[in-house]
């Protein structure tokens, strides 16, 4: 059962990503990649410490280690490209953060930005600003 606030990859997303993930890795029995990847996305979306990741995604150490390993190997770039291609309708959103600053925060005095004496080119006509 999916709890509120959890993130799980859809079947379409998983089908696009699964072939790009490393396989046959040495070590202990592998925790399901789909579960771990869903946990990574959950943590990146919600923030917080890796050790506070909900148990439904697997051990927090595993989730962090896979995120870190895949980042170092450049696997995320391929996964994101595959997700873009798997998205129906071509709608792609990227989240960003902006901070509004007061108009005087940049330090300029305002007013015209070009000098009147430099407004003409060598031939006497106005200079292009483009």
Q: Is 12's pLDDT higher than 80? A: yes
Q: For residue 21, name the pLDDT band (cuts at 50, 70, 90).
A: confident
For residue range 45-63, what is the model confidence (pLDDT) as tens digits? 888 899 999 999 999 999 9
Helix, strand, coil proportions of the chain in percent (round to 5)? 50, 0, 50
Tokens coding 26: 């040495």
**Is the overall model pTM greater than 0.85, yes or no?**
no
Give the span between the Cα atoms of 68 and 46, in whole angstroms: 17
Tokens 């106005």 correspond to what residue?
126
Q: For residue 1, name the pLDDT band (cuts at 50, 70, 90).
A: very low
Answer for the pair 127, 120: CB distance below 8 angstroms, yes or no: yes
Tokens coding 41: 């996305």
Instruction: Compute how many other C-beta atoms are within 10 angstroms of the C-beta atom of residue 39.
Output: 28
């Amino acid at each position: 059962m999916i709890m509120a606030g959890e993130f799980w990859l859809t079947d379409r997303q998983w089908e696009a990503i699964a072939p790009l993930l490393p396989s046959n890795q040495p070590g202990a029995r592998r925790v399901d990649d789909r579960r771990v990847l869903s946990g990574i996305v959950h943590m990146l979306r919600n923030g917080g410490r890796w050790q506070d990741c909900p148990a439904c995604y697997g051990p927090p150490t595993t989730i962090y280690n896979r995120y870190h390993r895949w980042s170092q190997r450049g696997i995320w770039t391929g996964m994101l490209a595959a997700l873009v291609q798997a998205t129906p309708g071509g709608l792609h959103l990227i989240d960003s953060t902006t901070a509004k600053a007061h108009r005087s925060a940049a330090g300029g005095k305002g007013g015209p930005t070009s000098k009147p004496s430099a407004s003409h080119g060598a031939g006497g006509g106005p200079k292009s600003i483009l």
